[in-house]
Amino acid sequence: MSRLIWFKGDIIPVDNATVNVLSPTSQFGANVFEGLRGYWNSGTKQLYIFRLDEHIDRLKKSAKMMQFDTHYSDYDLKKSVIDIVKANAFKEDIVIRQTIFLDGFGNWASKGPTEMFIAPMAKGRAIPPNKNGFHCSISSWERINDNSISPRVKVGANYINSRMGQLDAINNGFDSTIFLNSRGTVSEGPGSCVFIVRDNQLITPPLTASVLESITRFTIMQIAKEVLAIDVIEREVDRTELYIADEVFFCGSAVEIIPVLSVDRYAISENIGSITQLIKSAYLEIVRGNNKKFAHWLTKVY
């Protein structure tokens, strides 16, 4: 069966979902999107979409900041995600891209017409099985900031900053990179937020450190407090704190939790750290529907 996509209100084969090259989404990256995950539980024979309400809330906020004219209700935004996953009959872990884009023949300042696509894809763990984690650089590229292009908006064009950092890291023999913000403190990865562990405390940069308001970041903060009784502190993080941290990890819907093994070749750990492991295990239990306490974070597809 060819993969199906939700496109402008219809469910169609993915190859038939095309946009005009002159549309502002095509020319300027004028689109807002979410990357969600769905987890197949072979015991309950159910596929759970993780924190769908929170992703839809953030999608709407991104559309608002971009002044997109959108006409979708919460019900439509949610139902269309479930419909397209169902139509593909997935019985495995998936990622879902939900994008509202500027269509038509306007320019970068147009507010409409907007359209939407939703594309689910089969996807297991983001990190290859032969890797324990990532070796990272500190990017020589500064993270975009709220006075230029806000990282709080999940807009396609923002990922050109991510691209520059990621490619620079790869070209220099790293797996990924960590950006500093315009104040010179730690912001985030190209597609993930950053946590560090120092003296058994979990620390992450604040929402004003040029970061996306990551749903996984909020999730981990809650898991740490409520499941693991670990203190979480939101505060500015200096570059050299990464070098001497006990543990560092990336988090995000797609990447889940990925240990950072070194930063700028300063070794942090050879394998996943013990607190990172606790968080990762708790997270993966919750997303797959194996922790009843957090069942309200899951939307059943079938």
Binding residues for ligand PMP (CB under 6 A): 35, 188, 191-193, 212, 214-217, 252-253
Given a contact cutoff of 8 angstroms between Cβ atoms, the answer to whether 31 and 100 are in contact is: yes
**What does the alpha-carbon distance between residue 37 and residue 206 come to, in Å, rounded to a whole number?**
24
Closest CA to 187 of 278, 250, 265: 250
Least Å from the CB of residue 193 to ligand PMP: 5
Least Å from the CB of residue 171 to ligand PMP: 20
Least Å from the CB of residue 120 to ligand PMP: 16
β partners of residue 41: 46
Least Å from the CB of residue 217 to ligand PMP: 6
**What does the alpha-carbon distance between residue 7 and residue 140 come to, in Å, rounded to a whole number?**
38
Residue number with CB closer to ligand PMP (133 or 252): 252
Least Å from the CB of residue 1 to ligand PMP: 28
Least Å from the CB of residue 59 to ligand PMP: 11
Q: 154 catalytic, yes or no?
A: yes
Catalytic residue among 154, 225, 280, 293: 154
**What does the alpha-carbon distance between residue 148 and residue 166 come to, in Å, rounded to a whole number?**
20
Given a contact cutoff of 8 angstroms between Cβ atoms, the answer to whether 273 and 246 are in contact is: yes
Task: Give backbone dihedrals phi and psi of 203, rounded to 5 degrees, phi first.
Answer: -130, 135
Residue number with CB closer to ligand PMP (30 or 258): 258
Alpha helices in the chain (DSSP H): 24-28, 52-65, 74-88, 159-171, 215-226, 239-244, 274-287
The type of residue at 178 is I
Residue number with CB closer to ligand PMP (176 or 262): 176
Residue number with CB closer to ligand PMP (80 or 214): 214
Residue 133 CA: distances (Å) to CA of 128, 170, 242: 9, 15, 15
Residue number with CB closer to ligand PMP (98 or 253): 253
Residue number with CB closer to ligand PMP (115 or 188): 188
3-state per-residue secondary structure call for 153-182 = CCEHHHHHHHHHHHHHHHHCCCCEEECECC
Q: Report the C-alpha dihedral over residues 143, 146, 147, 153, rounded to 10 degrees.
A: 100
Residues carrying an active site annotation: 154
